[in-house]
């Protein structure tokens, strides 16, 4: 039986900006080769021409649905390099905004999973509920998605008046929607039929391929940078890291839904315990860190972000290397898709939460 070569290419409603070359024999995928690079814009090179503060609007653009999570890593790296001490209030605000962004990114993921599976309501409801969080973020940071809020030294502005009530109302609203999502989306018999047993990634394969984030935690390995190397105020927060044993698409979905619940827990703790004080350490706008290199890791919504910055004492970094979780999850594509049905291709693709913009940088 001859093979058919399909190019699920960049101009395709089911692939984002990413080409996947799939060889299909009847309905079974024989070989799937990812071909990233469609949206490569040279972010790392462009970062060498901008000062440390001016890099922040640049670096939050590739990762648009979770911009706070990725800029967090950059800001921590610069602070480590320059030896800056962050005030307590700034740490708490940063953790809260990062967790808010994690919830927004996971809701976006759930919505696009609905499109990939053909469930239009699973697309509409999370996007509508995400609007509540975007409104809250807009109240604090001024824009809906590209905040430029984290700076080396703390955060740019303080929380507005009445933020605690608004945030508590938004979190209560979100927590009241999660049981409905469970009832209609996660416990939907067709959803479990489509995702259980599909794309099984065992834990030894997960470690061998080097995947990160909820993909890793869905295969039974309980690894999270927030608990392994806590940064900012995470060591004072009380939360769990969900992980499931089976390693199929269903357990990866459950990991993300559980992470939403844990994030609401963290936000409630922060709203109770946030200290008063300065929100930004005094730092010159033209930051010139001393010579040296630094490496920092954070846990964004999709996985582990790592930054490696080399500075030669100038006002722009000499080399900025970004390690994004989508790029780290790429080896899982050909491994998981071999031998599965053609209809499992979008299911597996989106359960790995691959974001072409941040993989190509």
Partner 1 sequence: MTLRYPESKLDLPPGYRYPSSGYKGRHVLNMAKCIGDAICELACRNITGAIKMVKAEGEFPRNRRLTFPQLDYGLCVFCGFCVDACAFGALTMSSDYELSVYEKGALTYTPQMLASPPIDRGNSRFVVAKSQAYHVQA
Partner 2 sequence: MLAFPEPLMDALRVLIFPGLGFSLMFVLFMVWYERKLLAKVQVRVGPLYAGRFEGILQPIADFIKLLLKEIIVPRQADRLLFLLAPTMMMGLSVSLLALIPLSPSFAITDSSVGVLIALALLSLSPLAIVIAAWASNNKFSLIGGLRALHQMTSYAIPLSFSILGVVIMAGSLSLVSIVESQRNTWFVLLQPIGAVVFFLATLAELERVPFDIPEAETEIVMGWETEYSGINYGIIMTAAYVKFYALAVIFTELFLGGWLGPAPIPPPLWTIIKTFLVVTLMMIPRGVYPRLRIDQMFKLGWTWLLPLSLVNIAVVLVEVEVLG
- Which of partner 1, partner 2, none interacts with 37 (beta carbon under 5 to 8 A by kind)? none
Give least dist CB 321 to partner 1, A: 20
Cα separation values, 6 from 38, 50, 122, 333, 350, Å: 17, 41, 27, 15, 18
Instruction: Answer yes or no whether residue 117 interacts with partner 2 by CB under 8 A.
Output: yes
Instruction: Answer yes or no whether residue 172 interacts with partner 1 by CB under 8 A.
Output: yes
Instruction: Answer yes or no whether residue 194 interacts with partner 2 by CB under 8 A.
Output: yes
Q: What is the torsional sign of CA 50, 54, 56, 62? A: negative
Among 17, 139, 227, 297, binds partner 1 (CB under 8 A): 139
Give least dist CB 182 to partner 2, A: 15
Beta bridge partners of 21: 7, 33
Structure tokens at 179: 């049981």
Instruction: Answer yes or no whether residue 170 interacts with partner 1 by CB under 8 A.
Output: yes
Among 164, 190, 197, 210, binds partner 2 (CB under 8 A): 190
| CA–CA gap between residue 361 and residue 322 (Å, rounded) | 8
| CA–CA gap between residue 288 and residue 313 (Å, rounded) | 6
Residue whose CB is less far from partner 2, 115 or 223? 115
* Spatial CA neighbour of 138 closest among 111, 163, 174: 163
The one segment of 39-47, 123-131, 165-173, 201-209 that binds partner 2 by CB under 8 A: 123-131
| Number of amino acids touching partner 2 (CB under 8 A) | 32
Instruction: Answer yes or no whether residue 129 interacts with partner 1 by CB under 8 A.
Output: yes
* Spatial CA neighbour of 318 closest among 22, 34, 45: 45
| CA–CA gap between residue 109 and residue 264 (Å, rounded) | 17
Among 56, 141, 336, 345, binds partner 2 (CB under 8 A): 345
Among 11, 33, 138, 187, binds partner 1 (CB under 8 A): 138
Instruction: Answer yes or no whether residue 160 interacts with partner 1 by CB under 8 A.
Output: yes
What phi and psi, each to the nearest 5 degrees, are found at residue 335? Answer: -70, -45
Residue whose CB is less far from partner 1, 29 or 132? 132
Structure tokens at 124: 């509409």
Cα separation values, 342 from 22, 110, 202, 347, Å: 9, 21, 21, 10
Count of beta carbons in the 10 Å neighbourhood of residue 7: 13
Interactions with partner 2, residue window 11-50 (CB under 8 A): 12-14, 24, 27
- Which of partner 1, partner 2, none interacts with 154 (beta carbon under 5 to 8 A by kind)? none
Instruction: Answer yes or no whether residue 288 interacts with partner 1 by CB under 8 A.
Output: no
Contact code string over 326-355 relative to partner 1, x by CB under 8 A: ------------------------------
Residues in the chain: 361
| CA–CA gap between residue 56 and residue 77 (Å, rounded) | 12
Residue whose CB is less far from partner 2, 91 or 195? 195
Instruction: Answer yes or no whether residue 346 interacts with partner 2 by CB under 8 A.
Output: yes
Interactions with partner 2, residue window 256-275 (CB under 8 A): none
The one segment of 172-180, 197-205, 238-246, 259-267 that binds partner 1 by CB under 8 A: 172-180
Secondary structure of 123-158 in HEC code, one letter for each residue:
HHHHHHHHHHHHHHHHHHHCCCCCCCCEECCEECCC
The residue behind tokens 């921590």 is 76
State the chain's maximal CA–CA distance in angstroms. Answer: 71
| CA–CA gap between residue 253 and residue 33 (Å, rounded) | 24
Beta pairing, strands 154-155 & 19-25: unpaired
Among 118, 210, 275, 290, binds partner 2 (CB under 8 A): 118
Residue whose CB is less far from partner 1, 157 or 193? 157
Under the rule (CB under 8 A), what is the footprint of partner 1? 49-51, 53-54, 56-58, 128-129, 131-132, 135, 138-143, 146, 148, 156-160, 166, 169-170, 172-173, 176-177, 280, 285
């Amino acid at each position: 039986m001859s093979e058919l070569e399909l190019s699920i290419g960049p101009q395709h409603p089911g692939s984002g900006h990413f080409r996947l070359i799939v060889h299909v024999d009847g309905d079974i995928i024989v070989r799937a080769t990812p071909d990233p690079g469609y949206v490569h814009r040279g972010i790392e090179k462009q970062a060498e021409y901008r000062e440390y503060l001016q890099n922040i609007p640049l670096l939050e653009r590739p990762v648009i649905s979770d911009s706070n999570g990725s800029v967090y890593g950059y800001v921590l790296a610069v602070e480590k390099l320059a030896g800056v001490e962050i005030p307590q209030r700034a740490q708490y605000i940063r953790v809260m905004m990062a967790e808010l962004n994690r919830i927004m990114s996971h809701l976006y993921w759930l919505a696009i999973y609905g499109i990939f599976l053909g469930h239009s309501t699973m697309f509409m409801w999370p996007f509508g509920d995400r609007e509540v969080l975007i409104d809250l973020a807009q109240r604090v940071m001024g824009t809906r998605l590209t905040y430029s809020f984290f700076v080396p030294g703390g955060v740019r502005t303080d929380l507005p008046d009445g933020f605690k009530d608004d945030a508590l109302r938004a979190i209560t609203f979100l927590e009241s929607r999660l049981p409905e999502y469970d009832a209609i989306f996660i416990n939907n018999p067709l959803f479990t039929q489509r995702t259980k047993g599909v794309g099984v990634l065992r834990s030894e394969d997960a470690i061998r391929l080097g995947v990160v984030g909820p993909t890793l935690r869905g295969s039974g390995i309980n690894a999270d940078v927030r608990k392994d190397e806590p940064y900012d105020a995470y060591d004072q927060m009380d939360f769990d890291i969900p992980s499931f044993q089976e390693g199929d698409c269903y357990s990866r979905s459950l990991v993300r839904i559980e992470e939403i619940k844990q994030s609401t827990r963290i936000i409630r703790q922060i709203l109770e315990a946030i200290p008063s004080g300065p929100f930004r350490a005094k730092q010159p706008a033209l930051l010139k860190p001393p010579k040296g290199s630094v490496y920092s890791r954070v846990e964004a919504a999709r996985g582990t972000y790592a930054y490696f910055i080399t500075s030669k004492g100038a006002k722009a970094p000499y080399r900025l290397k970004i390690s994004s979780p989508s790029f780290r999850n790429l080896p899982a594509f050909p491994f998981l898709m071999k031998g599965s049905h053609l209809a499992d291709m979008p299911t597996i693709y989106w359960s790995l939460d691959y974001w072409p913009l941040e993989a190509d940088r």
